[in-house]
C-alpha cells in the first residue's frame, strides 16, 4: 500500500533550474531590477503613483533640481513676477535735463539724480483700477506661480510635466504592451508550432504557408502597414499588432522541437501504450518543450518593448493622451537643440536599464534551463 512516509520528491527541471539561477549573482541582480520595474508598474497602473503626470507642475523646460533653476526671463506664458522698476532708457532725450532739475530741487532728490524717471510725474488716471486688477492677477497668479516649480527632481518637459512621472508612466505603457503582446505571440506560436510539428504532412504545409506569408514581409513593414490601416489607435491596438505578427519566431522553434520529440523513443513508447494524439502532444511532449516557450516570452518582451518605443516615436503607437518612452524621445529630439537633455536621458536610461536587466535575465534563464558546457 502507499507508504506512510513519502520519500522526498527529487527535483524536476524547474527546481534544478531555480537552484542554478540562484547561484548566478548577475542573474539574481537582473531579476531584482525587473521585479522592481514590475512593482513600479503595478503601483502606476493602480494609480498609486504618477497618477497626475499630466499636471503641469513645473515651469516649461524646468531643469533638474540637481542643476538649479534656469535664469529668469525666458518664461513663456502666465507667470506674474515683479519686474522691478523699468530699466533706464539710454536714448531718453530728457535724461540730462531731468538730472539737473533733480539736483536743483534738493540734496535727497540729488542723491537719486540718476534714478530713472517714472512717468515724468504725470499721474496715471487708471491707477486705482490698475492696482485692483494687478492685485487680482497676483492673487491667482501667485498661487499659480507658487505651484509651478522652478526645478523638478529630473526636470520638466515643454509643458511643465514632471519627467520622472512621465518616465514611470512610459514604463507602464511599454511593460504592459511588452508582456501582453509577448504572451499572445508566444501562445499563438506555440499552439501553431505544436500542431504543425506534431501532425506534419498537409497540416504542416498549411501552417508553413501561413508562416512564409507572414515572414515574407519584413516585420516592421508589416507592423507599419497594419498601423496605417487601423485608424484607431490605442494600447490594445499595438498589443494586437505586435502579438498577431510576432508569433513566427516561436512557431518555428516549437515546430522544430515537436518534430524532434515526436521521433524520440519516449513518444513512440507512449504510442505503444495507447496514448491518443492529444495526450501525446500536451501531456507527454509539452513538458519537454515548455522551457523553450518560456524563454521565447522573455525574448519577445524585450523585442516588443523596443518596437513599441519606435512605433510611438513615429506616431503610430500610443494615442496622444498616453505617455510612452517613444513619445518622450520624439519630444527630446527637438529639446536637444535647445540644450535640454533631461527628457532624452530619463527615457533612454530607464529603457536601457529595463531592457538590459531583462536581457540578462533571459540569458541566465536560458542557461539555467538548458545548461551546456561553455
Interacting residues with another protein between 216 and 245 (CB under 8 A) = 216-222, 224-230
CB 308 within 8 A of CB 129: no
Conformational region of residue 106, where left means phi above 0, alpha means psi within -120 to 50, and beta covers everything else? left
342 binds another protein (CB under 8 A): no
- Shortest distance, position 174 Cβ to another protein, whole Å: 10
363 binds another protein (CB under 8 A): yes
135 binds another protein (CB under 8 A): no
C-alpha cell at 23: 547561484
| Alpha-carbon distance values, 27 to 30, 51, 101 (Å) | 5, 32, 83
209 binds another protein (CB under 8 A): yes
- Shortest distance, position 225 Cβ to another protein, whole Å: 6
- Shortest distance, position 336 Cβ to another protein, whole Å: 5
Residue from 240, 310, 319, 322 binding another protein (CB under 8 A): 310
1 binds another protein (CB under 8 A): yes
Residue from 215, 259, 294, 319 binding another protein (CB under 8 A): 215
Q: What is the C-alpha separation between 358 and 34, in angstroms, rounded?
A: 6
C-alpha cell at 354: 529595463
Residue from 122, 126, 146, 337 binding another protein (CB under 8 A): 337
9 binds another protein (CB under 8 A): yes
Give, in degrees to the nearest 5, the angle at Cα 315 between 314 and 316: 95
Which has the closest alpha carbon to 238: 308, 320, 315? 308
Q: What is the C-alpha separation between 272 and 251, in angstroms, rounded?
A: 28
Q: Is 177 helix (H, G, I), strand (E, B) or coil?
A: helix
Q: Any long-range contacts for 361-366 (C-beta under 8 Å, 24+ apart)?
A: 361/27, 361/30, 361/31, 361/34, 361/298, 362/295, 362/298, 362/299, 362/302, 364/21, 364/24, 364/26, 364/27, 364/30, 365/17, 365/21, 365/27, 365/294, 365/295, 365/298, 366/295
Strand partners, 58: 149
- Binding residues for another protein restricted to 13-52, rule: CB under 8 A: 13, 23
Nearer to another protein, 3 or 84 (CB): 3
- Binding residues for another protein restricted to 270-289, rule: CB under 8 A: 270-275, 279, 284, 287-288
200 binds another protein (CB under 8 A): no
201 binds another protein (CB under 8 A): no
268 binds another protein (CB under 8 A): yes
- Shortest distance, position 51 Cβ to another protein, whole Å: 26
6 binds another protein (CB under 8 A): yes
- Shortest distance, position 177 Cβ to another protein, whole Å: 14
Residue from 2, 4, 46, 232 binding another protein (CB under 8 A): 2
- Shortest distance, position 150 Cβ to another protein, whole Å: 26
Total residues at interface with another protein (CB under 8 A): 75
C-alpha cell at 217: 514581409
- Shortest distance, position 265 Cβ to another protein, whole Å: 4
Nearer to another protein, 36 or 213 (CB): 213
Amino acid at each position: 500500500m502507499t507508504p506512510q512516509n513519502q520519500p522526498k520528491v527529487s527535483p524536476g527541471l524547474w527546481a534544478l533550474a531555480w537552484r542554478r539561477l540562484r547561484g548566478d549573482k548577475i542573474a539574481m541582480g537582473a531579476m531584482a531590477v525587473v521585479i522592481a520595474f514590475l512593482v513600479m508598474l503595478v503601483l502606476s497602473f493602480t494609480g498609486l503613483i504618477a497618477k497626475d503626470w499630466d499636471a503641469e507642475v513645473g515651469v516649461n523646460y524646468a531643469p533638474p533640481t540637481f542643476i538649479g533653476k534656469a535664469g529668469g526671463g525666458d518664461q513663456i506664458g502666465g507667470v506674474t513676477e515683479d519686474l522691478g522698476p523699468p530699466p533706464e532708457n539710454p536714448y531718453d532725450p530728457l535724461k540730462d535735463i531731468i538730472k539737473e532739475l533733480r539736483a536743483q530741487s534738493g540734496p535727497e532728490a540729488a542723491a537719486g539724480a540718476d534714478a530713472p524717471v517714472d512717468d515724468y510725474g504725470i499721474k496715471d488716471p487708471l491707477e486705482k483700477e490698475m492696482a485692483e486688477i494687478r492685485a487680482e492677477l497676483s492673487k491667482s497668479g501667485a498661487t499659480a506661480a507658487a505651484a509651478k516649480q522652478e526645478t523638478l527632481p529630473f526636470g520638466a518637459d515643454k509643458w511643465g510635466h514632471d519627467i520622472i512621472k512621465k518616465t514611470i508612466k512610459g514604463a507602464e505603457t511599454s511593460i504592459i504592451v511588452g508582456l501582453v503582446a509577448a504572451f499572445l505571440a508566444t501562445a499563438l506560436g506555440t499552439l501553431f508550432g505544436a500542431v504543425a510539428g506534431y501532425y506534419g504532412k498537409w497540416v504542416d504545409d498549411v501552417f508553413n504557408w501561413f508562416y512564409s506569408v507572414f515572414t515574407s514581409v519584413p516585420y516592421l513593414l508589416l507592423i507599419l502597414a497594419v498601423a496605417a490601416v487601423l485608424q484607431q489607435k490605442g494600447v490594445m491596438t499595438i498589443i494586437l499588432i505586435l502579438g498577431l505578427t510576432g508569433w513566427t519566431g516561436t512557431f518555428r522553434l516549437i515546430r522544430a522541437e515537436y518534430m524532434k520529440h515526436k521521433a524520440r523513443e519516449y513518444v513512440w513508447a507512449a504510442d505503444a501504450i495507447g496514448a491518443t494524439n492529444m495526450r501525446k502532444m500536451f501531456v507527454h511532449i509539452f513538458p519537454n518543450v515548455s522551457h523553450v516557450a518560456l524563454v521565447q516570452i522573455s525574448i519577445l518582451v524585450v523585442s516588443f518593448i523596443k518596437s513599441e518605443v519606435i512605433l510611438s516615436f513615429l506616431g503610430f503607437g500610443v494615442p496622444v493622451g498616453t505617455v510612452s518612452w517613444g513619445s518622450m524621445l520624439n519630444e527630446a529630439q527637438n529639446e536637444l537643440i535647445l540644450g535640454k537633455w533631461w527628457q532624452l536621458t530619463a527615457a533612454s536610461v530607464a529603457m536601457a536599464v529595463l531592457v538590459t536587466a531583462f536581457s540578462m535575465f533571459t540569458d541566465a534563464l536560458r542557461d539555467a534551463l538548458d545548461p551546456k558546457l561553455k
